[in-house]
Amino acid sequence: MKLLILGATGLVGGWTARKALEHGHQLTLYVRDENRVPDGIKEKNVTIIQGSVEDQASLSMAIQGQDAILSSIGPSGWADVPGQITRGYKLILDLMRQYNVRRILAMGTISTYDPQDKPSFYRSCLYWLIFLIARGAQKEMLGIERAFREDGDDLDWTLCRVGLLGNSKEDGGVAEAGWVGDGAWSPLTERRDWANWMVQEVEKETPTWVREMPAIYTPKKRKTN
């Protein structure tokens, strides 16, 4: 497959790119700074395009001809411009429509409520913790969710709602998808497990979780691929 990776200089995006290369996919990496792309990812099957999430010309070049998009971009800190990533996703959805790219898996948050969720003490604690220490980032993530719901009704999008992100050094784990508070759900999402899940999910001949926001989590007993 021809896959566009957004956020490849981050931990999740880097693991996603590595796993996709292992599976033989042809990658385009869209990054703000091409000098930050890890050396191990700069291979002959990789095209690197530099630009911002609001750079229409560069995004058009990156999106055209892709089979799907895997994105782990989200607010990163105090230097973020409010609303920039939300506006960027709106542009990405418009360009997907223009270039007939239907599938995108993107980063969401369990701060976003889904009607299929069940009550969860852990989620409530995380929500209010983020509200207190990173309100701007939380507002941005909620804005991203609205952008997909309002502007992506004719596209095959999936918002991966993650919780606390972990940095396990063990590869081979695969995250699970479900609903907050349901069954084996856990508030922890190992970054590698999430990356592995996205690659496996995009490879499915018939997409699942279309126009849905599953909670992506690492179970207590890690599932291996």
Domain ranges of the chain: 2-224
Half-sphere exposure (CA, 13 Å, Cβ side) for 36? 13
What pLDDT does residue 171 have? 75
Q: State residue 225's pLDDT score.
A: 55
**Tell me, what amino acid is at 159?**
L
Tens of each residue's pLDDT in the chain, 225 residues = 999 999 999 999 999 999 999 999 999 999 999 999 988 887 777 999 999 999 999 999 999 999 999 999 988 765 467 789 999 999 999 999 999 999 999 999 998 899 999 998 888 888 888 888 778 888 899 999 999 999 999 999 999 999 989 987 777 789 999 999 988 899 999 999 999 999 999 999 999 999 999 999 998 766 555
Instruction: Quote the tokens at residue 4.
Output: 């566009």
Please give the pLDDT value at position 132: 83
Query: What per-residue confidence (pLDDT) applies to 38?
Result: 85
Q: Which residues pair with 103 in a beta bridge?
A: 68, 156
| Contact between 177 and 119 (Cβ < 8 Å) | no
Two tokens at 219? Answer: 């179970």
Q: 2-224 sits in which CATH class?
A: alpha beta
Q: How far apart are CA 12 and CA 81, in angstroms?
A: 22
CB 189 within 8 A of CB 178: no
Cα–Cα distances in Å, from 158 out to 34, 81, 145?
Answer: 27, 24, 10
Q: What are phi and psi of 60, to 5 degrees?
A: -60, -45
Task: Give the pairing type, strands 215-217 and 26-31.
Answer: unpaired
Report the distance separating Cα 183 and Cα 185, nearest Å. 6
| Per-residue model confidence (pLDDT) at position 222 | 61
SS3 18: helix
